[in-house]
Amino acid sequence: MAILRICEIFKSIQGESSWAGLPCVFVRLAGCPLDCRWCDTAYAKQGGSDLSLESILAQVAAQGPGLVEVTGGEPMCQAGAPALIAALCRAGRTVLVETNGCEDISGLDQRAHIIMDIKCPSSGMSQRTRWENLAALKPQDEVKLVLADRGDYEYARDIIQTHGLAQRCGVLLSTVHGQLEPRLAVEWLLADQLPVRFQLQMHKYIWPPDTRGV
């Protein structure tokens, strides 16, 4: 049976994506190969506890029915992640998978909803995007681009237009909390008539931004 290194399992509300505001169980896997300058879960890069797939499923079930998100760190760095995602789908859960887009997502259960980052230049990791992943995205999936400045916005705008992202799946734009005034990003996207959904990290307005387990 698969063993995965787990940072934390908790229940909160979904703070981002088109699923924002809904109660959700989060399974945060440990480990990530990227080093984004504005990472807000750096604590998940190391540590964690080894848990069997059976134990993870039991802990998720104990939190109650509904939405579940497999996140990180970067969940796709762990070989057991696809098995976990498939097992959660078989259990009847609505499964979200949040990934930074640097690892292959093509083998994931088709019932899962992928939320894939495309890293903008301010992150320092834009060169790590695995562009082949775009071909694996389904209409039910979403792409997220996080902006820290005008340069990031222009990069995101060009990527959205060049790759026809809005014709593939949902597209989300958000700002790095505390670094870019959300009003500016909204004004830019309205001026350019971008076919995107603007979002804020809801949980950072409900709890202090550095609170864990929410």
Cβ–Cβ < 8 Å for 30, 47: yes
Predicted confidence (pLDDT) per residue in 154-199, tens digit: 999 999 999 999 999 999 999 999 899 999 999 999 999 999 999 9
Residue 171: what pLDDT?
98
* Cα gap 30→66, rounded to integer Å: 23
pLDDT range class, residue 213, cuts 50, 70, 90: confident
Which residue stretches of the chain are H helix?
53-62, 81-90, 150-162, 165-168, 182-192, 203-206
Structure-token match 């998978």, residue found: 97
Number of Cβ within a 10 Å radius of residue 181: 10
CATH 3.20.20.70 applies to domain 3-206: yes
Structure-token match 């609170």, residue found: 211
Largest CA distance in the chain: 52
Cα–Cα distances in Å, from 189 out to 79, 138, 156, 183?
38, 24, 10, 10
Residue 188: what pLDDT?
98
Predicted confidence (pLDDT) per residue in 23-50, tens digit: 999 999 999 999 999 998 999 998 999 9
- Strand 3-13, strand 23-29: pairing: antiparallel
Predicted confidence (pLDDT) per residue in 113-166, tens digit: 999 999 999 999 999 999 999 999 999 999 999 999 999 999 999 999 999 999
Q: Is the model's pLDDT at 1 over the cut of 80?
A: no
Residue 141: what pLDDT?
98
Predicted confidence (pLDDT) per residue in 197-208, tens digit: 999 999 999 999
- Strand 49-52, strand 3-13: pairing: antiparallel
Residue 210: what pLDDT?
84
- In this structure, what token pair is assigned to residue 185? 């990003």
- In this structure, what token pair is assigned to residue 46? 């190391």
Residue 2: what pLDDT?
87
Measured over the CA atoms of residue 131, residue 133, residue 137 and residue 141, the dihedral's sign is negative
**Residue 52: alpha-carbon gap to chain centroid:** 23
Q: Once rounded to an integer, what is the mean pLDDT over residues 79-85?
A: 97
